[in-house]
Amino acid sequence: MIELFAFTDPQARELATSGGKGANLAQAAAHLPVPPGLIVGSAVYRAFVEPLRVPIRAVLTNAAFDHAIRSTRIQALILAQPLPDALGDALHTHMTELGLLDGPVAVRSSGTLEDLPGAAFAGQHDTLLGVRGVDAVLDAIRRCYASLWNAHVLPYRERLGLDHLSAAMAVVVQKMVRVSADEAAGVAFSIDPVRGALDQVLINAAFGLGESVVGGEAPVDEYRIRRDDFSEVESVVVDKPVALVDSATGGTREVALAADAAARPALDPAQRKEVAQLALLAEAHFGFPQDIEWAWQSGQLFLLQSRAVTRIPARWTRDESAERFPNPVTPLTWDLCEAGFHASLNYSFQLMGLPPFGEKWFAMRDYSIYGNQNAVDLYRGRTPVRMLRDVDSIRAALPEIAERFGWVQELPVRWMRDLDTYLLGIGALMQEPLEGRSLAQLWDYVQRINALGARYFLPNIAISLTQATLYATLLAMLRLALPEDEARHVFDRLMAMADTKTGQVNAELWTLSRSVRRDAALTAAFVEDDSAALLARLPQHPDFAAEFTEFLARHGHRELDFDAYHPTWLEAPTVVLDQLRILVQQDDAQRGNGEHGPRAAQMAMEHAVIEHAPADLRYLVREVIRLARVYTALDDLEHYQTTRLHLPFRRGLKAIGAQLVQRGALADPMDVYFVPLDVLGRALTTGDLAPITPAAAQHKSGYQAACARTPDWVYGEAEAAPADGVRVLKGLGGSPGRVEGEVFLVRSPEDFPHFPKDAILVARTTNPAWTPLFYQARGVITESGGPLSHGAVTARELGLPAVMGVRQVLQLLENGQRVRVDGRAGTVELL
């Protein structure tokens, strides 16, 4: 069966059928000025190339051939292979129906592997212009098929790890916009990906067909237009001495322009505005910034192609990373997790209907982790919140919400199902004997841990992103009915309580503290002894020691830091004793009457919100509230389970480090964390350990220096200190309420034992290991994070005012300084 689809056919929108270009054109044709056309489906190519697979594979596997020879031989096979007669007949019928036989058409390659993460294949395959008649179109289709095997495409696919024979080609046959020599065509970006200006449209234009602009070889005009009011930011007009136009005999030809014509702008101001508007229309249609090709014919503007902008200059800041990675990270830990993180990121974007991101989202700079803030801004706000402008918009969007976001209800179930496989894998890895294994075998063990973690982590970023989206959606709904302050208050009440794993662990810690308080001698030891002495004393209290050991067996994988270089609770039990010391100083009366009161208030608020919602939207409102809580708990649980990787990682790397010490390559087994992944992997695989010693020394020194300084907030830019006399520090509201008190700065778990009762906790960020401090605190201030951070969620649960994301707060405040915290306004006033 010959698969031909008009742009208006729903099947034409499928990437697997139509390739990247074809699918985007079919989607755009519904609402944008796209010239008519059809798509020769990828199944036609697969059937065409099937008889050639054996000889193609023989060429690919012949070690004597380079890429150029392979390309020449495979293309010769394809160009000699006849197309089926039925394709010509079907083309004639469809082209007649669409009016494509009346003039020239453009025949464009549309690969099915286009627009994968980091694999745009831009300009890699052929486009043929000015094609006339069915026979010429058939020949052009065969040439498009051959271009799948262009010499420069072969190493491109190999570098990306893509199988040559899994690639397929659809072909777009589209009515050609016949741009004359005094009209213009070109490209436009709905944001500026060159300078990273997200508030500007960038336009490149030339006279004649836009192929000269796309090819990048001809001089072009460049215009920058503001997105908000379409005013002009900048225009650069160059001499454009030649215009490319279609030829009456087929193909294209160049036309020389007179000097005065060549020097004039390709677009007048009104046309620039129209092109900018078209770029923004394409962005609105696809829900993401677009790179479009456009052309003018007889005063009418056409869209020829549209695809997502997924590459933009990086601007490295700590905005997105300081909460997740508050401290410097050793090179090996980062190298092991970076690829898995970015794979999870693009998996999450795919779930959310967003295009993949082809660059790095996070990167290590001077041992601190920075986020690509331009990428964050590029993807921010591409959520269903845009459908929630008013109640009528919500009603109209219900079918789309059901179709596009059904996975939000399914993901928690799938994640819990797959969790068992991961936990069984962790258990098996922890049981493997490592004694007597060679370095190569130990390295294989570490790689298997990493592979298990990467598979498990694949959907986990989607959980965090979805939690943020649900919070934004719920708040947007509340704002439709309530003033801002009241909407925030209702939101805080609805989300104040969540059944998190951290809450369960903290409840177990509280139970342990009760056991301590029942033993007067042990209680005195908690008050008088340091944690090391206390740990040594525990065997004298066998009942508590047994409870404590069971607690560590269940939760000992909890981390002190993201970096696996640092020990877990199981390896540093004194940290848990420090947490218990705080709880032992309290009693049940101080802790309150449990959760009954707050939870009842929360449910009453939920009932009131649903009762006041329009009847036909109550199910949606109820589901958004429910899912926001589900994802709050799930986000916490996935972090809890992710940290189980620390135990086998530390076990395997400790064994490697010990052997490297025995062989004189390292001075300390833990120094293995300072050896980058590529250096360590190559050394352990080849047996040449010499590069390990200098690499470890260099990176250990750099890491230690990084630990002694505060990283730039924007990489490479020293941050100015606040002006003298500034008395109010601004951050983000994390938990509502006001409180005054003296601050205490906690920089690491080593400061836990010294935290005074009723102080205001100040930290770079917090994680679940810090939660007992909250029971002793009056308020919370963090340097990083926002309303979804651990500190904010815990503060809301306990009713503590909290302000997050106060830049330089650890430098600006000193222990004992008195401040006023306003968790609703997000301010810290120095008193």
The string of pLDDT tens digits covering residues 167-194 is 889 999 999 999 999 999 999 999 999 8
517 burial class (0-12, 13-18, 19+ CB within 10 angstroms)?
Answer: middle
Q: Are strands 738-745 and 818-822 parallel, antiparallel or unpaired?
A: antiparallel
Site of tokens 């052309």: 295
| Rounded distance between C-alpha atoms, residue 624 and residue 171, angstroms | 42
Count of residues in the chain:
831
Site of tokens 């322009």: 257
Task: Measure the CA angle with vertex 530, ends 527 and 533; round to 5°.
Answer: 110
Among the listed residues 480, 410, 478, 458, the one whose alpha carbon sits nearest the alpha carbon of residue 630: 410
Comparing 137-141, 391-395, 815-819, the range with the smallest average pLDDT is 391-395
pLDDT for the residue 166: 82
**pLDDT class for 596, splitting at 50, 70, 90?**
low
Average pLDDT over residues 669-691: 95
Average pLDDT over the chain, rounded to an integer: 89
CATH superfamily of 4-175: ATP-grasp fold, A domain (3.30.1490.20)
For 587-671, where are the alpha helices, taking DSSP H only?
A: 588-591, 596-612, 618-642, 646-662
Kind plus residue range of the DSSP H or E element containing 819: strand 818-822
Among the listed residues 702, 708, 712, the one whose alpha carbon sits nearest the alpha carbon of residue 370: 712
Three-state SS string over 71-96 comes to: HHHHHHHHHHCCCCHHHHHHHHHHHH
- Is there a contact between 26 and 39 (Cβ–Cβ < 8 Å)? yes
pLDDT for the residue 476: 86
- Is there a contact between 210 and 295 (Cβ–Cβ < 8 Å)? yes
Distance of CA 218 to the CA centre of its chain: 36
DSSP string, 123-136: TTS-EEEEE-SHHH
The set of residues, in sequence order, having a beta carbon less than 8 Å from that of 59 and lying 6+ positions away, is 65, 70, 73, 74, 77
- Is there a contact between 408 and 627 (Cβ–Cβ < 8 Å)? yes
Look up the CATH number of domain 184-308. 3.30.470.20
| Rounded distance between C-alpha atoms, residue 80 and residue 411, angstroms | 49
pLDDT for the residue 633: 92
pLDDT for the residue 295: 94
DSSP string, 481-496: HS-HHHHHHHHHHHTS
Sign of the alpha-carbon torsion through 254, 260, 266, 268: negative
Percent of the chain with pLDDT over 90: 56
For residue 161, pLDDT over 80 is answered with no
Q: What is the pLDDT of residues 77-110, one digit of tens each?
A: 999 999 998 999 999 999 999 999 988 999 999 9
pLDDT for the residue 588: 65
Site of tokens 């250990």: 700
**pLDDT class for 701, splitting at 50, 70, 90?**
very high
Q: CB count, 10 Å around CB of 311?
A: 16
| Rounded distance between C-alpha atoms, residue 829 and residue 158, angstroms | 58
Average pLDDT over residues 265-290: 94
For residue 625, pLDDT over 60 is answered with yes
Q: Which amino acid is at 574?
A: T
Q: Give Cα separations from 547 to 153, 553, 771 (angstroms).
A: 62, 10, 20
Torsion of CA 664, 667, 672, 677, to 10 degrees: -60
The set of residues, in sequence order, having a beta carbon less than 8 Å from that of 12 and lying 6+ positions away, is 5, 6, 18, 22, 23, 26, 39
Task: Record the pTM.
Answer: 0.83
**Lookup: tokens for 299:** 């005063």
Site of tokens 């294949």: 121
Question: Hey, where are the domains in the chain?
Answer: 4-175, 184-308, 501-594, 728-830
| Rounded distance between C-alpha atoms, residue 774 and residue 590, angstroms | 13
For residue 594, pLDDT over 60 is answered with no
Distance of CA 792 to the CA centre of its chain: 22
End-to-end CA distance of the chain: 79
Q: Which one has a higher pLDDT value, 660 or 212? A: 660
Q: What are phi and psi of 364, to 5 degrees?
A: -85, 130
User: Under DSSP, is residue 40 helix (H, G, I), strand (E, B) or coil?
Assistant: strand
Q: Which one has a higher pLDDT value, 317 or 379? A: 317
| Rounded distance between C-alpha atoms, residue 362 and residue 358, angstroms | 12
- Is there a contact between 293 and 633 (Cβ–Cβ < 8 Å)? no
For residue 335, pLDDT over 80 is answered with yes
| Rounded distance between C-alpha atoms, residue 675 and residue 693, angstroms | 8
Look up the CATH number of domain 728-830. 3.50.30.10
For residue 114, pLDDT over 60 is answered with no
**Lookup: tokens for 716:** 């490479």
| Rounded distance between C-alpha atoms, residue 225 and residue 284, angstroms | 17
pLDDT for the residue 692: 97
Among the listed residues 830, 824, 826, the one whose alpha carbon sits nearest the alpha carbon of residue 743: 830
For residue 6, pLDDT over 90 is answered with yes
DSSP class of 718: P
- Is there a contact between 115 and 356 (Cβ–Cβ < 8 Å)? yes
Average pLDDT over residues 500-518: 90
Percent of the chain with pLDDT over 70: 96
Number of helices followed by number of strands (H, E) in the chain: 31, 24
pLDDT for the residue 116: 43
**Lookup: tokens for 567:** 């020990």
Q: CB count, 10 Å around CB of 226?
A: 14
pLDDT for the residue 383: 62
Q: Give Cα separations from 393 to 225, 383, 482, 571, 639 (angstroms).
A: 30, 14, 17, 54, 36
Kind plus residue range of the DSSP H or E element containing 680: helix 677-686
Among the listed residues 134, 145, 151, 148, the one whose alpha carbon sits nearest the alpha carbon of residue 70: 151
For residue 613, pLDDT over 90 is answered with no
The answer to whether 4-175 and 184-308 have equal CATH topology is no
Task: Measure the CA angle with vertex 403, ends 399 and 409; round to 5°.
Answer: 115
Q: Give Cα separations from 684 to 337, 377, 731 (angstroms).
A: 19, 41, 47
Among the listed residues 503, 603, 512, 519, the one whose alpha carbon sits nearest the alpha carbon of residue 550: 512
Average pLDDT over residues 15-38: 91
User: Under DSSP, is residue 186 helix (H, G, I), strand (E, B) or coil?
Assistant: strand
Q: Which one has a higher pLDDT value, 215 or 398? A: 398
Comparing 1-5, 77-81, 221-225, 413-417, the range with the smallest average pLDDT is 1-5
Among the listed residues 337, 326, 331, 328, the one whose alpha carbon sits nearest the alpha carbon of residue 360: 337
**Lookup: tokens for 151:** 């010499």
For residue 672, pLDDT over 70 is answered with yes
Among the listed residues 179, 235, 187, 169, the one whose alpha carbon sits nearest the alpha carbon of residue 207: 179
